[in-house]
Amino acid sequence: MGNKIKCVALSALVLPGLGQLYRGSRVKGGVMILLDNIFILGGLFIAMRSAGKLMLAARGGGVDAEHVLASIQTDSPYAKWLLIGFLLLWVYGVVDAIFDKENHIN
């Protein structure tokens, strides 16, 4: 049971896919880590693009919180989907690390 806890901790706390790699599912773990990186890099790209526009807008004066939220919502409609995808992948990684019957490590 101790190794199962390690797999769940790796997948849940560090990065989805590491628990699968630890259990020996190299393809599944690699695909999950690749998807993690796509979600993270996509989110960073959207955040940096929005931040750049806000910094340029703030040059002329103060920017209030409502303007910031409105700008992020209009500039990045896909940010919500990236976050949902990452969260689904994270939940799948934890559940798979707990219930995977293929690769048992005793």
For the stretch 9-42, pLDDT in tens is 767 677 888 888 887 888 988 999 999 889 888 8
Widest distance between CA atoms in the chain: 63
Residue 105: inside a domain? no
Mean pLDDT, range 46-52, rounded to an integer? 75
* Residue 104 lies inside a defined structural domain of this protein: no
Query: Measured between alpha carbons, how far is 4 from 10 in angstroms, rounded to an integer?
Result: 10
Q: How far is CA 27 from CA 22, 83, 95, 99, in A?
A: 12, 23, 17, 17
Residue 8 pLDDT exceeds 80: no
Calculate the dihedral angle through the C-alpha atoms of 59, 65, 68, 72, rounding to the nearest 10 degrees: 170
- For the segment 62-83, what is each residue's pLDDT rounded down to a tens digit? 666 677 667 767 767 777 788 8
Residue 1 resides in a domain: yes
Range of the domain at 90: 1-99
Number of structural domains the chain divides into? 1
